[in-house]
Structure 1
Amino acid sequence: MECIMQGIIETQHVEGLAVLLQGLCGSQRQAVKIHDLCLKSGPNLGQVPSEMHLMCDLSHQEPRWIVRHVGGAMRGAGAEQMPALVRSVLNCRISNNALRFFHSLGYKLDHELLQTGFKFQFHKVVPITVSVTSVCKIPKLHMIEEAVPITPGLQLVEVSASTSGDNYTEVAAAVSGLAEQLAPLLHLSKPGVLTGVVPTASAAASSLTSRATKVP
């Protein structure tokens, strides 16, 4: 399971966010470069459609592949009141011939995305990841060098942590608490809830980057 919150930030304010995150985290940012292949099931796999993501991490010297399946969100009064979304997620390491394997099962490639940017790893109640990425569509099959931003001038920010049925309340609170510390620059909410950019982002980013340049 996973607790997650999302938001957007203008690209011009990303460096200010990086300064804030580094100050909160105390460690350096890590590069993010992920090629995401979205596969959808064919009619031979049943009437209920399913979706898989083959994700190739290109930030390492040797590309690393995982298959990711995102399930439904937790429901009920308690889940509705939590600021973070709790959902089932399955990640599994796979080999680089996984696309051929899923094709043989009846899955078909629906679309491809490229995410580039950076992330910070926090250690709170549980490990929390904050990623800041530009999400790009790939118009030609596997041609990542021709990727085009889906929302030019905006980047996606995600705060997420793994959880279980035993501690999701505490994890959601930790994710929400970290998200609140980023409030001068952006507003984070459950995925699918549009919040827009924050009016105070420009002043906050300028202040952060200015202070960072003065540090010897």
Structure 2
Amino acid sequence: MECKASGVLDTTKDESALTSLQERLSCISGEHLAPFKQLEILLLGPSYTSNTKGPELRLVQQLKEPDTAQHKKGSSAWKVRHEGMPLRGKGAADLPATVRVVAESSCSGADIIGFWAALGFQRRYSMVKEGFCVSCYLDDHFVHVAVVRVCKEGTGGAAGEQVAPGCWLVEATTAATEGQHAAAAGAIGKLAELLEPLVVLQKQ
């Protein structure tokens, strides 16, 4: 299972807000912030319609400099994610993070996008997330934090036009075993408290 909360850091009026967030995260984690860059593609399954939702897959590829994604040519490695519906009910509603079952696997090859297209999946959108990340150990859980600019995919997987200039997406995630998701979500809630008022993390 995965617990997740996200927020938006707006630097259009105060560019120093990003530096303040970086310093806060470094203080909480005790670690250096690491560069983060990935290509993300959402695929809709062959049975997907506007009235009946079919399976959705999220393909994720870690990118390295220079700005070239390998899915255009040569072999490449991708993470394949299937995200279930959010946990519902009174107990879930009171949690500070969204909880859902996530299944992950890996695939590699010369044309991964073409492979899924041959199975009937269609690309809905693609984007490049670029920024930094760090892991914070809180309440016996490692919470992974990514602070990124969300950009359209440019030529060859490069980061293109920014979707919301001046705004940074802040995502906090942690893994949880079945029956322990409340404690894991609580760790994200603790992080949210530590990051306020710089950014407000909320369940999706």
TM-score range, shorter chain: 0.7 to 0.9
Q: Is the 8 A contact 2:192 2:201 kept in 1?
A: yes
- Equivalent position of 2:115 in the other structure: 101
CA distance in 2: counterparts of 1:75 and 1:158, whole angstroms? 21
Following TM superposition, by how much is the alpha carbon of 1:143 offset from its aligned partner in structure 2, in angstroms?
Answer: 3.9
CA distance in 1: counterparts of 2:150 and 2:118, whole angstroms? 29
- Equivalent position of 1:72 in the other structure: 85
Q: Is the 8 A contact 1:58 1:64 kept in 2?
A: no
Equivalences for 1:90-169 in 2 at 5 Å?
90-96=103-109, 97-124=111-138, 125-138=140-153, 143-145=156-158, 147-169=160-182
Deviation string, structure 1 residues 152-192 (Cα, Å, up to 9, x no partner) = 1101001110112221111111110011100020111111x
Equivalences for 1:1-216 in 2 at 5 Å?
1-11=1-11, 12=15, 13-43=17-47, 48-59=53-64, 64-96=77-109, 97-124=111-138, 125-138=140-153, 143-145=156-158, 147-191=160-204
Q: Is the 8 A contact 1:128 1:159 kept in 2?
A: yes
CA distance in 2: counterparts of 1:19 and 1:10, whole angstroms? 16
CA distance in 2: counterparts of 1:43 and 1:74, whole angstroms? 23
CA distance in 2: counterparts of 1:33 and 1:149, whole angstroms? 14
- TM-score, with normalisation over the residues of structure 2? 0.84
- Give the unaligned 5+ runs of structure 1: 192-216
Following TM superposition, by how much is the alpha carbon of 1:44 offset from its aligned partner in structure 2, in angstroms?
Answer: 9.0
CA distance in 2: counterparts of 1:44 and 1:188, whole angstroms? 31
User: Alpha carbons of 1:19 and 1:116: their partners in 2 closer, same or farther (altered >3 Å)?
Assistant: same
Structure 2 counterpart of 1:185, which letter?
Answer: L
Q: Is the 8 A contact 1:51 1:69 kept in 2?
A: yes
Q: Is the 8 A contact 1:31 1:59 kept in 2?
A: no
Identity %: 28
Q: Is the 8 A contact 2:4 2:172 kept in 1?
A: yes
- Give the unaligned 5+ runs of structure 2: 71-75
**Which has a greater percent of helix?**
1
User: Alpha carbons of 1:51 and 1:25: their partners in 2 closer, same or farther (altered >3 Å)?
Assistant: same
**Which has a greater percent of strand?**
2
Structure 1 counterpart of 2:40, which letter?
Answer: D
Pick which of 35-44 and 119-128 moved more: 35-44
Structure 1 counterpart of 2:25, which letter?
Answer: L
CA distance in 2: counterparts of 1:135 and 1:8, whole angstroms? 11
User: Alpha carbons of 1:144 and 1:76: their partners in 2 closer, same or farther (altered >3 Å)?
Assistant: same
Alpha carbon RMSD of aligned pairs, Å? 2.2
- TM-score, with normalisation over the residues of structure 1? 0.80
CA distance in 2: counterparts of 1:73 and 1:4, whole angstroms? 10
Pick which of 129-138 and 88-97 moved more: 88-97
Following TM superposition, by how much is the alpha carbon of 1:48 offset from its aligned partner in structure 2, in angstroms?
Answer: 4.1
